[in-house]
Structure 1
Amino acid sequence: MRERGPSARRARALAAGAAVVTVAAGLGVRTVADGDLAKYAGDALYTVLICALVALCAPRARPVVVAGAGLAVSWAVELLQLTGAPAELSRRSAVARLVLGSTFNAPDLLWYAVGAAGVWAVLATATSRRSGPGPRTSASR
């Protein structure tokens, strides 16, 4: 069921903007840094981008759901690299190389979690500010 109304449209617009900013940040990191810093920042930003796409598709999802879905997709893609299928696809397509990667690297799993944790923290803070003072709601968890 598609959610309608000004708040869903606003949430989708914010998620789309976050996706664009995340891609720009990833490209920026690659231009000013190299080595492990660029690689692991890219891993965290990969998960942030996936979270933004989840929020775009499900604008009313709770922060923990958005972050958890982004982390699950990131980990699934990384674990899929153990099969060799992404490596084969990456040899044929630059897009596949960007989306799927090619080689499993265990530390990437940690950096995906860092990205998801950052998304959760930002969304949970934004959600608690919107709901105003008082006890935390289940929407912020």
Structure 2
Amino acid sequence: MYADASRAVKRDLLVVAGPSPVPLPVSLPRAATVGGVSRLPVLVAAALTVVAGLGVRALWDGPVAKYAGDALYTVLIYALIVLAWRHVRPMVAALLAAGLSWAIEFAQLGEVPTVLRPLLGSTFNPPDLFWYAVGAAAAWALHARFRPARPHS
């Protein structure tokens, strides 16, 4: 059937032609998408979030940099959740991102291992909780705004 082609894609199988075609399971369309949307915009959003966080730290000092960093930290967690969980709803991703950020903040009430302090912080600061919620809300709003509409059934 595929004698002239070295490979052909049929459904979700990669069929390699040869003496006896061997179907190899691949999910070309689904592997590249998150909830029906390309993973590329989510990866770009995550990268831009890191760049924004580094930029804020480089340009400003004090509370502006600290609280913007808190919000962006939660935005990055949100993006990682969307990358990992294909069909997550924006509100669920926002609640998970805020919840994880808050859990990390509350963990700072105890002793954080020295090796993890650059990533997790070391001092509990109640205003951080508000800024984590701001970051989750901003990520939710952008995700909900740009998420493709689901077909009505």
Interval of TM-score (by shorter of Structure 1 and Structure 2): 0.7 to 0.9
Matches within 5 A, 1:52-131: 52-84=79-111, 86=112, 89-90=113-114, 93=115, 96-127=116-147, 130-131=148-149
Q: What TM-score, normalized by structure 1, do the two folds share?
A: 0.79
Deviation sequence 1:6-47 (CA, Å, 0-9, x none): 533844322222111111100000010000000000000000
Between 1 and 2, higher relative CO (CA 8 Å, sep ≥ 6) is seen in 1
Length, aligned pairs only: 124
Higher strand residue share:
2
Structure 2 unaligned regions, length at least 5: 1-26
> Aligned residues: percent identity?
49
Runs of 4+ in 1 over 3 A off after TM superposition: none
Q: If you compute each CA radius of gyration, which structure gives the higher value, 1 or 2?
A: 2
**Residues 11 and 56, structure 1, Cα contact 8 Å, conserved in 2:** no
Q: TM-score, normalised by structure 2?
A: 0.73
Which structure 1 residue ranges, 5 or more long, are not aligned? none
Alpha-carbon distance between aligned partners in 1 of 2:129 and 2:48, rounded to the nearest angstrom: 23
Structure with the largest fraction of helix: 1
RMSD of Structure 2 on Structure 1 (CA): 2.4
